[in-house]
Homo-oligomer: A and B are copies of this chain.
């Protein structure tokens, strides 16, 4: 069975791939807007972890809508959620049996409710899996430490391909670099260099 997993090159979505690879032919899919080349970091991480990869370009209007939400809100949460929902729709429209993401039990964003999951499954005739949604932060950290070679650091210094990287670029392009600090709180990100 073919499965497309939304992939950022970070620890969560890489661990999700390890959970699923016993059961599915997994392709890691990085959704992007063609704004930067950041998706290439995910391609390299997928390669290092030994998974097939494809990039999937989303409608740039989705990025504009997300940035507008973030600017209005003053925080990124709803904008990220907006992009994630569009990305799930896009991978569910691929020719696959199942789609998945790396959302964890303790994630605040993005989240996919049971109703959203069932709607996605019914409309696209695919299974939706969130293999880490039953894993807490502690378990994820311990499994990542055991399985993956990761680099950890501040968001702006770590090569990454999640939506945030491009949304930051769109926001900076429109409102200037200072706008990034207004919207995005400082936090650490991870980048996967390979399996242990």
Residues of B contacting A139 in the complex (Cβ-Cβ under 8 angstroms): 98, 127-129
A19-B19, A114-B106, A117-B105 known; A136+B143 contact, CB < 8 A: no
Interface size grouping (class) on chain A: 20 to 34
A132-144, CB under 8 A of B: which get 1 and which 0? 1111101100110
Q: Which residue, A103, A117, A138, has most C-beta atoms of chain B within 10 A?
A: A138
A129-B135, A134-B132, A136-B118 known; A146+B23 contact, CB < 8 A: yes
A18 interfacial by beta-carbon distance below 8 Å: yes
Complex Cα spacing A134 to B15, Å:
14
Query: B133, A133: Cβ atoms under 8 Å?
Result: yes
Residues of B contacting A136 in the complex (Cβ-Cβ under 8 angstroms): 117-118, 121, 127-129
A22-B18, A23-B147, A106-B114 known; A121+B134 contact, CB < 8 A: no
Complex Cα spacing A131 to B16, Å:
11
